[in-house]
Amino acid sequence: MAELTYLEAGRLAVLEAMRADPDVWALGEDLGRGGVFGQYRGLTEIFGPDRIVDTPISEACIMGAAVGAAMMGTRPIVEMRFSDFALCAVDELVNQAAKARFMFGGQTRVPMVARQPIGMWRSSAAQHSQSLEGWYTHIPGLVVMTPSTPTDNFLLLRAAIGADDPVVYMEHKNLWSLKQDVDTASATQVDPINEIGKASVIRDGRDITIVTWSAMVYEALKAADLCQASGVQIEVIDLRTLWPWDVETVLTSVKKTGRLLIVHEAVQVGGFGAEIAATVAEKAFADLKAPIKRLGAPRILIGYAPPLENQVKIMAKRDIAPLALSLMES
């Protein structure tokens, strides 16, 4: 058992994967100095510049090189620095990596991980703060992961590196410093592939189900504490993986509680929460005691100034808890 930050857990997953498999390597801007957040600190000294590769400032070049290398049999880890910057490489990811296995009749695969830090982080403003996970869930051929804990960042990144399909791996920037005891010895005994598409019920409750992921897990837990004071027990589910997502765990919870609230930091309009809501409405309508509710960011740009940023944030006390309690009145 070791106390690791979310960032350190991801770094350890990369380190262990590279030690175990010489075909695993990483590429991106500033990796030689450890990456913009330090996710690759010290790895150049261990593996050398041929496996921790500094690249030009061209996301399309980085992603394109990785796709080609993956098709030739290696397992690249692509560092996009910010999910916003990955938009410069959408063609390579969406039209090439996601479709290659299908278009070549299964003769080639693209075992590649695209790490895309997401979310609001200390006044990073409109071009460095987006949560775009819903975009990638729409694309056939892509796996989408959103770890919320250091343990999951270790487990799921190992799973992503070992997967034979391209994975969009979205780590929340506000979680880099989050610490947790991580049982790495036990984790390495788990088949990481089995973690893909497996949600976690992180708090039991009888009255309302909250489904969420990434940094919103912690706001949901705070809201659950606030609602507990009013006698309302909230069950909190962390999806962990958005595609594939764990439909059965969500349906089982909704059958028990009869009420569903979906919370995400991304803009609510067109967000992945709508997919969850529609699925539950189709498959568990008879179990519902109240209308399904969604809570996401308004469809506005994220301001640099903290007061403007706070208008976009989803907060436990201001947003989640009141909406959850209103469900009990429906």
Report how far residue 21's alpha carbon sits from residue 111's, in angstroms, rounded to the nearest whole number: 13
Beta strands 179-182 and 2-5: pairing type?
antiparallel
Q: Is the distance from CB of 137 to CB of 272 less than 8 angstroms? A: yes
Report which residue type is found at 143: V
- Give, as one character, the DSSP assignment of residue 146: -
Q: Which tokens is 191 given?
A: 């088949």
- Give, as one character, the DSSP assignment of residue 97: I
Beta strands 179-182 and 113-115: pairing type?
unpaired
| Chain centroid to CA 162 | 17
Q: Is the distance from CB of 167 to CB of 193 less than 8 angstroms? A: no
Report how far residue 292's alpha carbon sits from residue 260's, in angstroms, rounded to the nearest whole number: 5
**SS3 of residue 210 by DSSP:** strand
Buried b (16+ CB within 10 A) or exposed e, 35-57: bbbebbeebbeebeeebbbebee
Element (H, E) at 133: helix 133-137
Catalytic residue status for 172: no
Report how far residue 255's alpha carbon sits from residue 183's, in angstroms, rounded to the nearest whole number: 33
Residues with catalytic annotation?
Answer: 128
